[in-house]
Structure 1
Amino acid sequence: MTEVLLIAGMFMATFSVRYVLFAVAGKVRFPPWLTTGLSFVPPAVLTAIIVPAVLLPRGELWLRFDNPWLLAGVFAALVAFWRRDLLTTIVLGMFCFMLLRFGFGL
């Protein structure tokens, strides 16, 4: 019984927070300085997730040419600057990683 109450409580907490944000989404206007500041949040969050995974895949700093995560990350960054297309970057970056990791055994 306590599990059902716990799940119901978490549902209500999650749903209420998201519903309130969606309900007021079109009615609230942020000042331009806040909108500009919020535009930097996605790149900052992605950087905080990706950089440790690329540079510390085994829990310690690994800056050598036998690091497939680093090589594939550099390749994906070059593809992103060249093509400016998210899907192409993801597909080619993953292909490069798979080739390095499983094809060449790095």
Structure 2
Amino acid sequence: MEIRWHILLAIMGASVVTLLPRVLPLVLLSRMQLPEWTMRWLNYVPVAVMAALIAQELFTTDGKVHILQHYVEILAAIPTFATAILTRSLLGTVVVGILSLMVLRFVL
């Protein structure tokens, strides 16, 4: 089996490009104490990212806003969000979301 150097270099380059943005902040920030306001601000980042991803999936199609086109998914999102807020359980939220969507697609 022959080694194709350009493919190996592309894989190694992609590995470095993927690894650097993940490891570099971790190494740099582990050595310093961040202010309290920064830590509070960073706590909202995962919620904001998840909200942006979910909103994009629920309210857009082909880059255009179509609110009522995904009405089944929006209806399924209501009990899913309620479960997430009340239980803070990832497994419970996923199960409720899947079951809600399954029942709504069966009924509607």
Q: Return the TM-score normalized by structure 2.
A: 0.75
Once residues 59 and 74 of structure 2 are traced to their aligned partners in structure 1, the CA distance between those partners, rounded to angstroms, is 6
- SS of equivalent to 1:67: helix
Matched, 1:43 2:47: yes
- Which residues in structure 2 correspond to 1:31-70 (within 5 Å)? 31-56=35-60, 59-63=64-68, 67-70=71-74
Amino acid at match of 2:68: L
Percent identical: 27
Q: Which residue of 1 aligns with 2:100?
A: 96
Once residues 89 and 9 of structure 1 are traced to their aligned partners in structure 2, the CA distance between those partners, rounded to angstroms, is 38
5+ unaligned residues in a row in structure 2: which ranges? none
Amino acid at match of 1:72: A
- SS of equivalent to 2:68: coil
Amino acid at match of 1:95: L
Q: Return the TM-score normalized by structure 1.
A: 0.76
Q: How many residues align?
A: 103
Q: Answer 1 or 2: which has greater helix percent.
A: 2
5+ unaligned residues in a row in structure 1: which ranges? none
Cα distance per residue 1:61-99 (max 9 Å; x no partner): 2337x7111001112112223333222111111110122
Once residues 14 and 5 of structure 1 are traced to their aligned partners in structure 2, the CA distance between those partners, rounded to angstroms, is 14
Matched, 1:8 2:12: yes
Residue 87 of structure 2, aligned match among 78, 83, 86: 83
